Each structure stands twice: as structure tokens, then as C-alpha cells.
Structure 1
């Protein structure tokens, strides 16, 4: 998809704020190492630009992505710190993992037992399934067998032993019970295996925030992802700690491309689902569901001139209409996520209106929206030059 550099719709990404957040999370958790999760193009913010900022400032010790192509993109951009692919992977690309010094995840004993002859040293992360039931080892004897295979093969190097919590971002007795069950399962499976505890990686974003004081959890290496954006990753289910001062990283903006006077009762947009409530002005914005502002956002608000104004009619592929309180000149700025004077539309509020999570809203924002990087780090790494 071509980035629409000539269209007045843009995503603003503050690299200084993102770096501040990663450093604040390290302090909050007292983590020895921070592995910044930059999957899905850095949750839509730009994986390369975030990685360059975090590597320049030493805010991250390694980077975590979902697949090999995401990892190669970082390597090709000059990133030198370790890169770890979380997803299960076949054998066909092992040479690329080895050549580019990319960490591959071991999803099962069978995968490890059937490794083909290697062309060099392969770095591994051992997935421990404590209750997500996606990939990983769930039997202690198989973990022991895997460790023996790794220890006996000089071409295999263990980068991490990790797990992932399913309910770390949820409140309630049932969620806490499941979290405790996963923790106990981890210790039952791992404690007596003889692993170097510095290899343990247990804390994702939610675990970093709401379980940082739990002595049962290793903070040898944490994996913050969506939290880097400075948002509440529980979607308001759990309160953010007051003394964890995170900054908002992204803002989403467009401009009025058309303003017209419309008579009361005139139907608006596809399906004629809504009519003009009174004589007045309607603005059209160059932004639609192909940009990630999905049709379920009909009726939500945007900010214009420090005031909230409602979206009218169905959101279309490339354009969206808004009810104006007066006639505004073409090119007037519209805020979809961010502040305009005392008013603010947060990523969390957009997710709540859309009955989803902040991750979905942020990662759905399309590649065709141009990203503009701000802050001193943007100048240092030349984030907007190309």
C-alpha cells in the first residue's frame, strides 16, 4: 500500500515520549533487561523508527517481533541488538535466522528433535505454555529433554526461557486465580530444570504494570509492547499506577477537505442511515475505514476548534463527514486522537466506543497514513528523511 504523503491525514509519533516510557517501565519493574516488543510495525507506530530511537538511547536491550520479515526489516535498517521472533517457525528459513543472528522460538520438543543440519549457530527462545495454549512446552520431562539437546549441541545457543500470561490485564477473582495458576505452573515446570535465571522472560506489558511487586515473577527480562504508547493496556479495567508517569506517544489528525451547507432532513452517506438534524454545515474529512476508522465509529466525535463534534452517517472507505457548529475554512485541523486545547480524545476512549482493545485500534491504522516523527530523537536518527 502506498503511503499517502500528499493527503492531509497523518499520525504523529513522539519518539522522545516512547523512549521515556520504555525507560520509566524499566525503573518501575527494576528489570535487568528490556526487550521492546515491536511486532505489527511497532503497534502501528513504526518499528524501524522506534528501534532506532531505543538503540540510540540504549533504552532497549533487544527487540521482539512476530515474524522473520519483521526481524529482517530491522536488520536491514541497521539495527544491531538482538532480535527475537515470537511466532512458531518452520525449518525452511533457518539459514536466514543464523545469517542475521535472529532468535527463533522453539514451540515444541518435536520441533527441536527434528532440526536439520545447521549452517552456523542458531539462537533459541524456549516457549513455556503455562495456560495460553498457543505454543510451547507444557510437560516438565519434555523441557528437560529440550534443555539437554540444547546443552549438548554447540550450534544451539539459548537466548531466553519465557511464558505469557492470559489474564494479567484483567480484574476480578477469576482472572487473578488464572494468573496465579499460570505462575504456579511456571514454577512447577521450570524451577528444577537448571536454567540460568537471567534467561527468564515472564512479564508482558500488563504484568509489568500490575504485577511488578510480585516476588514470584522474574523481571530478568521484560517484554513491554503496547505499553510503550503510554496507554492503559487493560482498557480501563485496572487503574494505572499514579507514580508510573507515562507519556502519550501518538496523535491522529486530518483536515477538512470540504465544507457545505446542508438543509435539515437531508440524508447523509451510504444507506441514508442518518439525516441532517438541522440546517447547518457538514465537513468532509479525507479519512475512512480503509485508514482504520471502522464503520462502527459512526456517531463518535472528533475535535475541531477545541470542541467535540459528532461524525454523521456511515463512515465510508476514504471519507467521513462531521457535523460542524459553524462554517470553517478548508484545511481546518481535525483531531481524531489527541488533544486540542482542554479537550482530548484518547486511544482508550476510541477503543471503548468501538467495543475493542487499544491494540486493535492502534494496529488497524493503515500504512497509507503518513507517520510524522517528533521529538529530539526524530532529528538524531533522521526519522522523517525518506
Structure 2
């Protein structure tokens, strides 16, 4: 296990990831596969450990955003099918084929360039991406979809393994736009059927769609945010079919405790002034770790008690007001539970006026990840060592 030499760390409860995937597996129709989305270093949790756990829990495939992420998993011994959801350079298609990495075809021009410039020794496995209203990546015009299919049907080195789309509003209670996108996707599938193209994997469901519409997502669900124990949105919390178990927590320790006198100042800009004798503690986490300055009004948990952050958050440290003198080394929880207190990721997201997806992603690589399974540390990941 990689050692680390700072008093700040993330804990990832692999059992929670396992249970979230297992719950989804039991909830979906038996013929529906789970594609575990481990892009962005598994939303900040750690791609390799999450991938292994998700596959053990019943996931069939993996998905990432970029070719680099897929290659990293291959180098670590992950051999299942991996779909790159984002665009890759056409000149890298041959590399994807060599490593049996499935790529997204979203444009005729991209495909023409990939085929023109390379001689594939292995088949290139692809999923067609249809833009039904997300407006991000995908084939929007059905004429272009027809042309792509006709082009592929004459290419021996291309294997159409799947077709998919992505919903913009599956995490909203109102389904009007969802229904509109779904109808457009059905039209695209009708075109494929007219060409008599046999496509093994059809998917339109992210976590939200999979949780809400299990019989409408065809035979693959891309499980992302729910795998990590987070709801796709607070709006649909009441619609979730099973309890999600949050896997990510962030901890540190008190490294310095001192008493202030009335009038003493704290941190950059001297924005905080002690009004009486106060005890403050210093915690070795800062905005370089992803605990950004806008979190200056937050609370953290020290020895089971919520305490307020005071003054401005620095690059590597911040200060809190303590109820009294506390022991050096006392555990501090920024995200997660300690004693009877809990700070969920959604609470941090509300403070920052953002979504829960962003919070674990923004905790930087320099914070070690400790992986826990059956109450035992199974691995420590430290990118600085």
C-alpha cells in the first residue's frame, strides 16, 4: 500500500459501491446489463478500485470519458469491454482497436477520416451516439445516420456493438422533454431496423432513467452517480426505488490548537476578529485540495461536534472555532459521518449552489484515497508517492 505523510485523506467505502450496484442489478430486468461509469477517476473515488468492485457486484461493462482513461484501466488488468463516451481523435482509432476499447461514433466525417488514414489489424468496436436533444455529442440528422450505416455496412473492420443516446432531463420530475427525446431515439432505432442492422447493445438510461424507467431503457443502463450512493437530483429523491449508500468521505486532523484574545484576527485579509477568548484549530486542508474558498461559511465535525470555519480558507489550511481546547490529532470530518453528526455531499453541494456530482470530483489528486472493504483497509492510493 502506498504510504502518505499528511493528516488528510478520503475514505471510499467499497461495500457501499458494491451494494448500490447490487441493488440496481436486482431492480432492473434480468436481461438488462449495467455499464459502470468510472470516468473522471470514478467521480473522484478511484477508477480501478471502483471498476473492480462494480464488476464483482454485477456490472457487465465499463464506461469512461476519454481514451486515456480506458488505456489506464487496461494497463491495470481490467479486461472487460470499456466504452469511451467522449470523442477520440480519429488517428487514435487504431490504438483503441488494438486494445479492444469501444469508441463512440458521433459524426460521419470522423468515421471517414478514421477509415481513410488507418489499416486496422483488429476490428474497431463502436457504439453509435444519437443526439436526441442533449445538443452535446451525437448524430443529429437522420440523413447522416443513414449514411453512416451504409458506410459501415461496407467495412469489414468495423463492428457496431451498440447505439445510444443521453437524456438531458431524466433527473427532473416533469417528463415532457424526456418523452420527446425518447420518441426521437425510437425513430433512430427504426432506421437501424430498416437497414437490418443487428445491434447487441441499446442504451439510453443514465442513473436517473434507470432508476425511474427500468423497462424503457432497453438492455443496458449506464450507472454513474447512483453507483456512488448519490441521487441524480434532490428533485427525485422521493422517487428512488431503493436506498443509496454514500461511499465518499473526507477527513483530516487538528494539527494546531491555540487560544485567541479579544481583537485577534484570523487568516488572509484579517476578516475574522475574535470577540472574546476563543480556541481555534488549524486543519491541513485548503483550496489546492478542492476545499475551495467559497466554503468559508461551512461547518466541519471535530470529535463528534459541528464547529464553524472562521476566516478565509488558505491554499493548504483553514481554521475553525472550537468549543474549547482539544487534543492535537483530533479527527476532523469535512464530508461524512462522525459520532451522531453527518455532513452529506448534498449539503456541500447546496452551499456551493451546484450538484453533488461536482463535490467528489473537485477533491484533488493530492488527497490520498483509502479504500475500505468489510471494515478493513484494502488499498491506499497516493498519487504523490
What TM-score do the two structures reach when normalised by structure 1?
0.92
* Partner Cα separation in structure 2 for residue 242 and residue 98 of structure 1: 38
* Partner Cα separation in structure 2 for residue 5 and residue 330 of structure 1: 19
* Partner Cα separation in structure 2 for residue 385 and residue 130 of structure 1: 39
Most deviating of 160-169 and 271-280: 271-280
* Partner Cα separation in structure 2 for residue 179 and residue 378 of structure 1: 42
* Alignment-derived partner of residue 155 in structure 2: 153
* Alignment-derived partner of residue 292 in structure 2: 294
* Alignment-derived partner of residue 211 in structure 2: 209
The one of 236, 239, 261 equivalent to 1:263 is 261
Q: Is 1:19 the counterpart of 2:15 in the alignment?
A: no
Contact 1:138–1:189 (CA under 8 A) maintained in structure 2? no
* Partner Cα separation in structure 1 for residue 365 and residue 84 of structure 2: 22
* Alignment-derived partner of residue 374 in structure 1: 372
* Partner Cα separation in structure 1 for residue 60 and residue 281 of structure 2: 47
**Deviation for aligned residue 1:186:** 1.2
**Deviation for aligned residue 1:274:** 2.1
Most deviating of 74-83 and 189-198: 189-198
* Partner Cα separation in structure 2 for residue 99 and residue 376 of structure 1: 37
* Partner Cα separation in structure 2 for residue 348 and residue 12 of structure 1: 17
Contact 2:90–2:111 (CA under 8 A) maintained in structure 1? no
* Alignment-derived partner of residue 111 in structure 2: 112
Within 5 Å, which residues of 2 pair with 1:310-325? 310-325=308-323
Contact 1:94–1:118 (CA under 8 A) maintained in structure 2? no
Query: C-alpha offsets along residues 11-44 of structure 1, whole Å, 9 cap, x if unaligned?
Result: 0011121011112112223262111000000100
* Alignment-derived partner of residue 187 in structure 1: 186
**Deviation for aligned residue 1:4:** 8.3
The 3 A distance-change label for structure 1 pair 152 and 377 is farther
Contact 2:300–2:306 (CA under 8 A) maintained in structure 1? yes
* Alignment-derived partner of residue 138 in structure 2: 136
**Deviation for aligned residue 1:85:** 0.8
The 3 A distance-change label for structure 1 pair 93 and 284 is same
- Secondary structure of the residue aligned to 2:235 is coil
Contact 2:161–2:201 (CA under 8 A) maintained in structure 1? yes
**Deviation for aligned residue 1:376:** 3.9
Within 5 Å, which residues of 2 pair with 1:199-278? 199-212=201-214, 215=215, 217-234=216-233, 236-241=234-239, 243-278=241-276
- Secondary structure of the residue aligned to 2:91 is coil
Q: Is 1:38 the counterpart of 2:20 in the alignment?
A: no
Query: C-alpha offsets along residues 100-131 of structure 1, whole Å, 9 cap, x if unaligned?
Result: 10011101122223322332210101000011
**Deviation for aligned residue 1:242:** 5.7
**Deviation for aligned residue 1:317:** 0.4
- Secondary structure of the residue aligned to 1:328 is coil
The one of 280, 290, 296 equivalent to 2:278 is 280
Query: C-alpha offsets along residues 122-180 of structure 1, whole Å, 9 cap, x if unaligned?
Result: 01010000111111111222222222222332211112101001111123x4xx22212
Within 5 Å, which residues of 2 pair with 1:22-171? 22-30=21-29, 32-55=32-55, 57=56, 59-114=58-113, 115-116=115-116, 117-119=118-120, 120-171=122-173
- Secondary structure of the residue aligned to 2:236 is coil
Most deviating of 144-153 and 117-126: 144-153
**Deviation for aligned residue 1:378:** 7.1
* Partner Cα separation in structure 2 for residue 219 and residue 358 of structure 1: 27
Contact 2:146–2:191 (CA under 8 A) maintained in structure 1? no
* Partner Cα separation in structure 2 for residue 151 and residue 179 of structure 1: 31
Unmatched segments (≥5 aa) in structure 2: none
CA RMSD of aligned residues (A): 2.0
What TM-score do the two structures reach when normalised by structure 2?
0.92
Contact 1:272–1:313 (CA under 8 A) maintained in structure 2? yes
* Partner Cα separation in structure 1 for residue 242 and residue 57 of structure 2: 20
Instruction: Report how many residues are paired.
Output: 374
Contact 2:207–2:222 (CA under 8 A) maintained in structure 1? yes
- Secondary structure of the residue aligned to 2:297 is coil
Query: C-alpha offsets along residues 231-265 of structure 1, whole Å, 9 cap, x if unaligned?
Result: 1221x222244640221211110000100001233
Contact 2:206–2:224 (CA under 8 A) maintained in structure 1? yes
* Partner Cα separation in structure 2 for residue 232 and residue 279 of structure 1: 43
